[in-house]
């Protein structure tokens, strides 16, 4: 996934009200940017961090700047825009990178389904006799220790609901998968954040036990592009 226009570099002053961030641009101008991430951004929102922003060309937008990336330490840049995760996973699917989900000719996005009025991120169909596969995509940014990323970084009742829906999909005879899209390259495994949301961790284990497939892919992140590079294991100790 390439950025449509060059990103602007700045320094984060503060993130607040979940959706806002004050940034000083390299030009010295101070602006307020939209923060496209509802999580806590644990480890990714410290004042003084280098950040990169995109700027919308749409007239009349209250906050034309969008926070895209943050440098958390030397050599490690993290993509914080959750809106990119579906696109990244979809590109990886069509490119054949997600080997366990190969063989489907049709990919549909944002499909309504389930008993709890949910909307699944992707549905894979026309798999040559394979049942349709319902895929939930989750963006991962938090790291608790070197190489170990966790999800969620804040309590996620919505995420737990999605896992319940995926279990029902499997029981109905279809495939279901949860795909953790890790927008950072320094990750070796993904784990449930039991210390933050134990209910989600319990639901993930139950879902995996019921046949929901759990996948995780890390990405190479730069101010020019974000690309999924390879799979990492999902560990539920």
Is the domain of 91 the same as that of 116? yes
* % residues pLDDT > 70 (the chain): 100
Whether the link from the prior residue into 152 is cis, omega within 30° of 0, is: yes
Check pLDDT > 90 for residue 113: no
Q: What is the pLDDT of residues 33-67, one digit of tens each?
A: 999 999 999 999 999 999 999 999 888 889 999 99
In this structure, what CATH number is given to the domain that contains residue 16?
A: 2.40.50.580
Q: How many domains does the chain have?
A: 2
End of a domain among 54, 79, 104?
79
* pLDDT score for 127: 87
Q: What is the pLDDT of residues 62-89, one digit of tens each?
A: 999 999 999 999 999 999 999 999 999 9
> In degrees, to the nearest 5, what angle opens at C-alpha 51 toward C-alphas 182 and 17?
85
For 27, the token pair is 């030009």
What average pLDDT does range 105-125 have in this prediction? 90
* pLDDT score for 147: 95
Instruction: Report the alpha-carbon distance of residue 48 to residue 71 in Å, rounded.
Output: 10
Is the domain of 166 the same as that of 224? yes
In this structure, what CATH number is given to the domain that contains residue 118?
A: 3.40.1350.60
CA distances (Å), origin 187, targets 99, 139, 148, 184, 229:
19, 13, 6, 7, 11
Q: Is 138 part of any domain? A: yes
Is the domain of 24 the same as that of 36? yes
Structural domain for 100, as ranges: 82-232
pTM of the model: 0.94
CA-CA-CA-CA torsion for 9, 13, 16, 19, nearest 10 degrees? -10
Is the domain of 64 the same as that of 115? no
What one-character DSSP code corresponds to residue 225?
B
């Amino acid at each position: 996934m390439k950025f449509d226009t060059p990103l602007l570099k700045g320094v984060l002053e503060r993130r607040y009200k979940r959706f806002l961030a004050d940034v000083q641009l390299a030009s010295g101008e101070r602006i307020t940017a939209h923060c496209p991430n509802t999580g806590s951004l644990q480890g990714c929102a410290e004042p003084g961090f280098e950040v990169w922003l995109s700027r919308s060309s749409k007239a009349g937008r209250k906050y034309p700047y969008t926070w895209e990336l943050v440098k958390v330490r030397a050599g490690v840049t993290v993509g914080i825009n959750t809106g990119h995760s579906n696109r990244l996973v979809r590109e990886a699917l069509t490119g054949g990178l997600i080997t366990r989900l190969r063989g489907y000719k049709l990919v549909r996005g944002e499909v309504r389904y389930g008993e709890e009025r949910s909307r699944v991120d992707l549905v894979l169909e026309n798999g040559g006799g394979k049942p349709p596969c319902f895929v939930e995509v989750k963006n991962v940014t938090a790291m608790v220790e070197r190489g170990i990323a966790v999800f969620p970084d804040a309590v996620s009742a919505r995420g737990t609901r999605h896992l319940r829906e995926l279990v029902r999909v499997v029981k109905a005879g279809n495939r279901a998968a949860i795909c953790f899209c890790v927008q950072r390259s320094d990750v070796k495994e993904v784990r449930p954040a039991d210390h933050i949301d134990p209910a989600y961790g319990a639901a993930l284990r139950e879902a995996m036990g019921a046949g929901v497939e759990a996948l995780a892919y890390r990405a190479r992140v730069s101010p020019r592009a974000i690309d999924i590079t390879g799979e990492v294991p999902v560990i539920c100790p």
